[in-house]
Structure 1
Amino acid sequence: MNLNGAAAIVAGGSSGLGAETVRHLVRKGMKVGVMDLNPCDDAPFVAADISDEPQVTEAVNALADQLGPLRLVLNTTGTGGSGLSAGPDSRVDGATFRRVLEVNTLGSFNLARAAAGRMMENEADDQGERGVIINTSSIVAMEGQIGTAAYAAAKGGINAMTLPLAREFARYGIRVMTVAPGIFETPMFSKARGPMVDWLREQVVYPDRPGQAVEFAEMVEHIGCNRMLNGSVIRLDGAYRVPRGQHEWWIQ
C-alpha cells in the first residue's frame, strides 16, 4: 500500500512508541491523527478512552472526517497491572485483572472494529486493498514472567484475535497485524531503576541493547507497505526470551 499522502490514526500516540511512530509516519508523508487520553501537540488530536466503544468510534470518525480516508490505524495503548496474584504480598485482584483486559484486549477490539467500519468505505487500490489495522501486543504474551498474569492474558488476547479478524476483514481488502515488542527505550522504561530493570536489559541477545522507538515505527511502516503481511504476530525483540523472573521483585 502506498502510504505517501494517506491518512493514519495512532491510538496512544501522545507518548512512547506511539509518539515516535506518529513522527515517523509524518516524515514518510502520511497525514496522522492521534487518539489518546493525554494531549498531543504533534498532530490532530481527539481524546478518548480506548476501553469505551462509543468514545473510540466517535474519535475515529472525527479524525477520519478531518484527515481523509483512513489507510492505516495503529493501537499502542496499554496498561500493566503487574504483581503477585495470591498470598500475603498479592496486589492483583479481579478488578485489576478486568481493567487490564478492558484497556489492552477490549480496547484493541474496539479500535479495530471502528477502524474497519471506516476503511470499508474507502476506494480500493489496484490490488483491492482498503487499509491495514495494526495492534501492539508484547512478547510477555508468549513468555510471561512471574507477576504478569493479567498483562500476559490481555496481550495474549490481542494475539489470538489477529487471525480471525484478518480472515473476517479480508473480503473488504483490510489487513490485520500485530507487533509484539520486547524491551524498548521509551521514556517510562528509560527512567525505571532497580534489579528487575537491570535484569530485563541484560536479556536482549543482539543488538545487545533495548530497541529504539524508531525501530518499532519502521516495522509499522513496513507492515503498511507490504501486502503479504496479514493475520500474523511479529516479534520485534532482538532474540529476547523472557525468563521466569523472581517473586521477590513484587514483595514490598
Structure 2
Amino acid sequence: MLKNTISLVTGSASGLGRATVERIISSGGKAIICDLPSQAELADKIISDLGSDNVKFSPCDVTSPDDVTAALDLAESNFGAVNAAISCAGIATASKTLGRKGPHSLEMFSNVLQVNTTGTFNVIRLASERMSTLEPDANGQRGVIINTASIAAYDGQVGQAAYAASKGAIVGLTLPVARDLSSIGVRCMTIAPGLFLTPLLAGLPEKVQEEMGKQIPCPRRLGDPAEFGQLVESIITNPMLNGEVIRLDGGYRMPP
C-alpha cells in the first residue's frame, strides 16, 4: 500500500505516467499530475475517472524551474511535501546522423536532451530538496526518485541518436544521483521500458501492434502501461532498490 506516498508524476496525462498515477491512487497514495498546459483536458478526465480528492493537476514544463516548483508547492499545500518523484515526461524524434537532406539538426538534438535529460534532472534536484525536509522513516529514508529511460539507451536503433543519447544520460546519472542523495536518505532508481502500448503505439493499426508484440520473447505482446505502474509501486515500497536501472521489456533486444 502507498497510503503514505505523496507523489509528483511528470508526463502523466497519458501513457506510462497516467498508469503510474492510477496505480498510486488505487493503492492509497496521493499524486500531482504534471503535464503541459495543453494536456489539461486529459488530466481533468483522469481526475474525474479516478473520482478521488487525492489527485491534482499542475500545468508543467519539466524544463522550467518555476513550473516544477509550482507543482511541488501544490502538493505541499494539499497533501504535504512530496516523497516520491516519478519522471515520465519525454519526447522522441527520428533522424539519422547524416540523412538524405543533410546532417542531423543540432536544434532537434539539443531539444531532445533538454526535455528528456535536463527536464528529468530538474525534477530530481528540486524534488530532492523538498524530501530533505521530511522526517526519516525506520530505514532512515525520506523519499525516492524514479526516472524513465528506455531500452534505446542500450539498443538505440537507426535514427535514434538523439533519443538514445538522452535516455543513456538518464541511465548514467542514476548511480551518481543515488550516491549524492544517500546522505539525506533519498533513493534514486530508473526504469528502462521496452515496447509498451502507449498512445503512440496505440495509434498504429492493430495488425502492426500484434507484429511488434510478437518480437518480444516472453510475454509475446506489447507491455501494458499498468505493468510499468506496478513496477513503480514495487520500487517505492522496497527500500533496498537503489542506484539501479531495471529493464522492463520482456527480454526484448531491439534490432538495428
Common fold by TM > 0.5: yes
SS at the partner of 1:217? helix
The residue that corresponds to 2:222 in the other structure is 210
Amino acid at match of 1:72: A
Kindly indicate whether residue 29 of structure 2 is the aligned counterpart of residue 17 of structure 1: no
- Cα shift at 1:149: 0.3
What does 1:150-189 correspond to in 2, within 5 Å?
150-189=162-201
- Cα shift at 1:166: 0.3
Assess, with a 3 A threshold, how the Cα gap between structure 1 residues 89 and 28 changes in structure 2: closer, same or farther: same
Structure 1: 5+ residue stretches without partners: 245-252
TM-score, normalisation: structure 1: 0.91
- Measure the CA separation in 1 of the matches of 2:165 and 2:82: 30
The residue that corresponds to 1:88 in the other structure is 100
TM-score, normalisation: structure 2: 0.90
- Measure the CA separation in 2 of the matches of 1:126 and 1:196: 49
Indicate conservation of the 8 Å contact 1:140/1:151, yes or no. Answer: yes
What does 1:40-189 correspond to in 2, within 5 Å?
40-41=43-44, 42=47, 43-89=55-101, 92-189=104-201
Assess, with a 3 A threshold, how the Cα gap between structure 1 residues 54 and 91 changes in structure 2: closer, same or farther: farther
* CA-to-aligned-CA distance 1:15-59 (integer Å, 9 cap, x gap): 111111111110100011111102112230111111122322232
The residue that corresponds to 1:247 in the other structure is none
The residue that corresponds to 2:27 in the other structure is 28
- Measure the CA separation in 1 of the matches of 2:9 and 2:128: 14
Structure 2: 5+ residue stretches without partners: 48-54
- Cα shift at 1:127: 1.2
Identity %: 40
The residue that corresponds to 1:248 in the other structure is none
Indicate conservation of the 8 Å contact 2:58/2:70, yes or no. Answer: no
1:219 to 209, 212, 231: 231
Assess, with a 3 A threshold, how the Cα gap between structure 1 residues 82 and 199 changes in structure 2: closer, same or farther: farther
